[in-house]
Each structure stands twice: as C-alpha cells, then as structure tokens.
Amino acid sequence: MGIGQALLSRLDSLITRERVRNYSWICVLLGAVALVLNAALGSGSITKSGTVVLPDYLAHWTGGRLVLDGRIGALYDPGVQAQLQQEHLPGITGVSWFVSPPFAVFIYLPLAWLPYGTSALLWTVLSAGLLAASLLLAKPLVHPRRRGDYRVLVLVFTATPAVLELVGAGQDSGIALVVLMLGLRLLLAERNVAAGAVLALGLFKPQLFVFVPLALLLQQRYRALAAFGVGALTLGGLSLPVVGLSSWRAWYDALTSPLYQEAVQVGQAWKMQSISSLLTSLGAPESVAYVVLLIGAVTLVIRGRQVRADTQHLWALTVLTTVVFSPHLLLYDLVLVLPVLPYLYSRLNVRAVRLLAVATVILLASTAVRHAISHTVGSWALLAAPWSALPLLGLWILVLLATAIPDSLERAATTPTPAYRHAFQVRQNPGRQIRWPTLPR
C-alpha cells in the first residue's frame, strides 16, 4: 500500500458512526445558538447596524407586500422595493431584491399581511416544518438493513451548513425540497400524474428543477411529463389576472439586467456551489454557465438512459447533476441533496464517498470565514471561491459511474417489506422486483 493509500485509509478510519453523530450534534447546537443570538440582537427585526433578521425572507415578504399594496407594476423595481423595506423597517440600507417568478408571490401573500417581525417568526416555524416533512418522506428511501441508522442520517442532514443557512437567512428552498421529496415518493408509487403536477410546483425556483423534465422523459413517464407541463402552464396562467403579462417581462428583464449579473451572479459567486460559479470566481465569463448546464444535460441523458429502470439511482443522479451544473445554486439550495443521502449511505457507502462528503461539509462550513479573510486580505481572493464544487463534482462522478446493482453483490440477504418492494419495482417489467445487494451489518 502506497503512502497516499495509507493516508486515505487512515482518514477514512476516523469517520466512525460515533464521531459523525457527536460532531453533528455539536454543529446543530452551535447553529441553534447562533440563530438565537442573531434573533436576540435583532431587537425585534432590526439590529443596531441596520441589518434585518432573515434578510432573504425580506425579499419574499416584499413581493407579497407590493401586490397587497396594489404596486404590481413595480414588482421587480429595486428602487421601489428598497423604499418599501425602509418604510416598514426604518434604519436598514440597501435592498433585499425579490426576483422570484411572478406566480411565487402567491406563496407569500398571506404572510405579507403580517408585520415583518411576526411574519418572519412564522416563516421560521414553517421552514422547520417543511424540513421535518422532507425527512419523513426520505425515510423509505433508506435500505431496510440500514433503517436503524435513519436517525443518524436525520442528524447529519440537520447539521449541514445548508440547513443552518436556510433557516438563518429565511430562504424558501425548504418548499422546493418538500416538493421534490413528495414528487419522488409519488413516482416510486407509480402515481405519475400526481407526481408531475407536484413537481411543477417547484418551478418557483426553476434553476432547481431544470432537469426534472429530462428525468421524466428518460424514464418514459410520459403522463408525469404531461402533468408537469400542464402544471407549469397553469401556474403561469393563474398569475396573469393578478400580476399581468408585464410582470413576466419585468422578471425576465431583472434576471438579464447588468445589476443582477453584477450583484448576484458575480457578487455572490463565493456563496454559490456549482462548477459554473467556481469558474466565474476564477475569472471565466458569466456565459460559461450555460455551457456547463448543457454539459450536465447531455451527460444526464447519456447515462440516465442506462440506469432509468432504477428510480432511486436516476433521481440521485438528476439531483446531483442539478447541484453541480446549475447556473444559480447557493449554499442553502444544497438541502436538495436530501434524496441523495439515502442512496449514498445504503448503496454507495465506500471510502471515496465518505471522504468527499466530509470534504464538502468542511468547505461549506468555512464559506463565510474564507470570504471574510479574502475580503480583508485582497491577495487571497481565491480563498473565497466555492471550492466545495470540486468534492461535489467528485460525488457526482461516483454516482454517474456506479452500476445500478453490482453483479458481485446480487445476493439478496433480506426480503424488503411489501411497501418497500413495491416502491422500487423495475418499471419496464412490473413483475420483476429489484434484488437488494448484501450489506454489511
């Protein structure tokens, strides 16, 4: 065994169940303390420095508030949004820009009736509930022989920087996650029309569902694909009487404006996690994101055709392809990897996966620190680049190359429960069930 292999084996030996559990608890407790301190120092909603609690949620609340105030024509005007936010939250500077699709305002209209502080508190409770629901939906994806470790998986997911960032910033990726998990569960139950309709709801964050139609097409789930298309058209159509066609044009203009490119795509590249964001941080033009997206789509089509009978494998690959190749994916959007975790733990639990997972978490947890250091020391600008995209790319490659069920492990050691067996039937031959590989106790 070479020095490199010996070092990797030594590092892997440190990743024990007890260490994973204990360090996850530490991260959860520290994160909870940080969230409480952030809220307490906010003095209701505003800190002494003029920053707002749940700054990302402020953008969503603003979108709903503009509609309630009858200022739909200014829905994407950053100047009007800044003025509204300063009216309700005196002392803040800058703007938390609402740039979600027009129909997304319907999500926030009920919450926009409330004062911002009360609304933000309720949103935090809702976000926690959505994350809990997503974890419950993920439980059947864990192999029956690994079901005893489900609580550890829940703890690990809760401790990830993505979850802490989502709750602390007030983002809405929790809705996207529960939509994805519910859609996946419906697909596994062969309820294709319902699955397609549910997955269409995720288009309020289109960059996170960009590969969903491809995955449905690869699995020949034509009814689900049709329901997805009808759902998308319905969402757009229902929004027209309220926000009008002009709001859709304004949304497109906002996303293609120099301000958005400078403030978000480039200015927040350090907080994004995809390969295109890493390349942007290293000086590549913004247009490279579309080339990267195309590469991801082509690769998913080629490999997806080979593993389409294995729903869990295909959708784990689809989600990871989204994470790695999406042109706009920030830290909190990584909660989307939840359905990938049971696949990796149950069916691809090898040394390379474990080491890459730990490297990803370390790089994600150090994002803010690296950004602060690079801000202070100008010559260290590359330190803040989203280097976590590299271990995520490594995980994607491993899932891409993995076989659906290794031939050498084609010995079924355990008979799955009837419900679980039904969930993972091979679609091309409903009478044939997938035989689960032998797993170490």
Range of the domain at 91: 23-369+378-402
**pLDDT tens for each residue of the chain, 441 residues long:** 678 888 888 888 888 888 999 999 999 998 888 877 776 665 433 333 345 778 899 999 999 999 999 888 889 999 999 999 988 888 787 788 899 999 999 999 999 999 998 999 999 999 999 999 999 999 998 888 777 788 899 999 999 999 999 998 899 999 999 999 999 999 999 999 999 999 999 999 999 999 999 999 999 999 999 999 999 999 988 888 888 888 899 999 988 888 887 777 777 777 888 998 898 888 888 788 889 999 999 999 999 999 999 999 999 999 999 999 998 899 999 999 999 999 998 888 899 999 999 999 999 999 888 888 887 776 677 888 899 999 999 999 999 998 744 433 333 323 333 333 333 333 333 333 333 333 333
How many domains are contained in the chain?
A: 1
Note the pLDDT of residue 412.
32
C-alpha distances in Å from residue 95, one per residue of 46, 104, 162, 306: 14, 19, 23, 47
> How many angstroms separate the CA atoms of 195 and 174, rounded?
18
Q: Which residues contact 437 (CB under 8 A, 6 or more apart)?
A: 347, 405, 406, 409, 410, 411, 412
99: helix, coil or strand? Answer: coil
* 137 is a domain residue: yes
* 35 is a domain residue: yes
* 150 is a domain residue: yes
* Closest alpha carbon to 387 in 282, 265, 238, 293: 282
Structure tokens at 393: 């790319």
* Closest alpha carbon to 364 in 342, 393, 334, 340: 334
Four-CA torsion 425, 220, 177, 130, nearest 10 degrees: -60
* 9 is a domain residue: no
* 149 is a domain residue: yes
Q: Which residue has the tokens 């309630």?
A: 68
Q: Which residues contact 412 (CB under 8 A, 6 or more apart)?
A: 435, 436, 437, 438
Q: Write down the pTM of the prediction.
A: 0.86
* Closest alpha carbon to 290 in 281, 303, 279, 282: 279
* Closest alpha carbon to 314 in 392, 404, 391, 439: 404
306: helix, coil or strand? Answer: helix
Looking at 139-264, list the stretches that DSSP marks H as alpha helix, in order from N- to C-terminal side.
150-159, 161-169, 173-188, 192-200, 212-218, 222-255, 258-260
Q: Which residue has the tokens 């359905």?
A: 339
* Closest alpha carbon to 207 in 159, 173, 248, 247: 173
Contact, 219 vs 427, CB < 8 A? yes
Q: Which residues contact 41 (CB under 8 A, 6 or more apart)?
A: 47, 48
Computed from CA positions of residues 120, 104, 291, 314, in that sequence, does the dihedral angle turn out positive or negative? positive
* Closest alpha carbon to 59 in 23, 90, 91, 84: 84
* 426 is a domain residue: no
Helices 105-112, 55-68: axis angle to 10 degrees equals 90
CB-CB neighbours of 136 under 10 Å: 11
Q: Which residue has the tokens 């929004």?
A: 239
Note the pLDDT of residue 379.
66
